């Protein structure tokens, strides 16, 4: 059975850090995130994750965003470093970002970054499956 393909590239798709890390870059420039029997085609995401490591790469900084299943770098080049001022290892952050890749590595380029608290994470975990079921029902013409 072929998975339902859903183009959500015009919106910020809610995703876990580990899902973004596993995303496949497509020839169209979009990224495919497979989840719950569907393939979501995305370019922008909203991610909540814990900063597990900060790396200074010279011209860029990587803030590794993690969940229970994996992690993805949030890469701030020189012109975007101010977006991550005050963010440190251990912080929980809510991020709007575009997905990028260099070679085989997928990373996030920040648009908006803010600290979050544990209640945001709990709401996040509950809402993701609900939102995806709704998107699937829309794509299948059930709504």
Q: Looking at the domain assignment, is residue 136 inside a domain?
A: no
CATH no. for residue 49?
A: 2.40.50.140
- Adjacency order of strands within the sheet including 4-7: 4-7, 38-42, 31-35, 24-25
Residue range 10-44, pLDDT digits in tens: 999 999 999 999 999 999 999 999 997 899 999 99
Strand 4-7 vs strand 38-42: parallel, antiparallel, or unpaired?
A: parallel
Question: What's the structural domain count of the chain?
Answer: 1
Residue range 100-132, pLDDT digits in tens: 998 889 999 999 999 999 898 889 889 999 999
Domain that holds residue 39: 4-126
Residues paired with 12 in a beta bridge = 44
Q: Looking at the domain assignment, is residue 135 inside a domain?
A: no
């Amino acid at each position: 059975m072929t998975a339902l393909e859903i183009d959500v590239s015009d919106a910020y798709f809610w995703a876990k850090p580990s899902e973004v890390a596993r995303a496949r870059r497509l020839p169209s420039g979009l990224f495919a995130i497979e989840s719950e029997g569907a393939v979501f085609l995305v370019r922008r995401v909203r991610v909540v994750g814990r900063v597990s490591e900060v790396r200074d790469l010279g011209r860029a900084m990587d803030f590794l965003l993690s969940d229970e299943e994996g992690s993805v770098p949030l890469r701030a080049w020189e012109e975007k470093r101010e977006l991550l001022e005050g963010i440190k290892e251990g912080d929980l952050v809510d991020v709007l970002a575009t997905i990028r890749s260099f070679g085989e590595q997928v990373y996030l380029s920040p648009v908006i970054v803010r600290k979050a608290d544990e209640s945001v994470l709990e709401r996040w975990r509950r809402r993701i499956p609900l939102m995806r079921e709704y998107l699937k029902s829309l794509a299948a013409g059930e709504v």
